[in-house]
Amino acid sequence: MPRFTDNQDGTITDSETSLTWQKKDSRQLTGRWMHLEKSQKLAKEQNETKTGGFEDWRVPKLEDIKTIYNKSFSNRDFGNNEIHIHEYFEKGGADCCWTDTINGERAMMFSLVKGRSSWINKLG
């Protein structure tokens, strides 16, 4: 059984973690980069509209986003630079991802290029 399954509804299921991911990230869905609070608001809106049939969308935990990063995967971000997520994820997304890890005015962001996390001002 393959690790990732394209559910043909805009989502991907990871058989190793049982998590379902959207094929498009917030940058692709809105056409712009979002700070953490706007990303959280987008997840809430997607729950209200039951995107992909789900009502539990959220900004991922750091340990969750780390599971989809794999140096052997090759995909392309919005600038056509290499990122390391599965090819089922839509090409042209962001090169990093917010996590739900917050410390005051900063939040943890995870790089899909380098596979590392760093603290960033949550308002960008």
Domain boundaries, the chain: 11-121
pLDDT at 124 over 80: no
Residue type, 108: M
Going by the DSSP 8-state scheme, the letter that residue 124 receives in this structure is -
- The answer for residues whose C-beta is within 8 angstroms of residue 49's C-beta and 6 or more apart is none
Please list the residues that pair with 119 across neighbouring strands. 108
Residue 5 DSSP SS3: strand
Confidence of residue 93 (pLDDT cuts 50, 70, 90): very high
Whether the pTM exceeds 0.85: the reply is yes
CB atoms within 10 A of CB 53: 10
pLDDT over 70, % of the chain: 100
**CA 41 vs CA 26, 44, 47, 54, 71: distances in Å:** 11, 5, 10, 16, 30
Please list the residues that pair with 65 across neighbouring strands. none
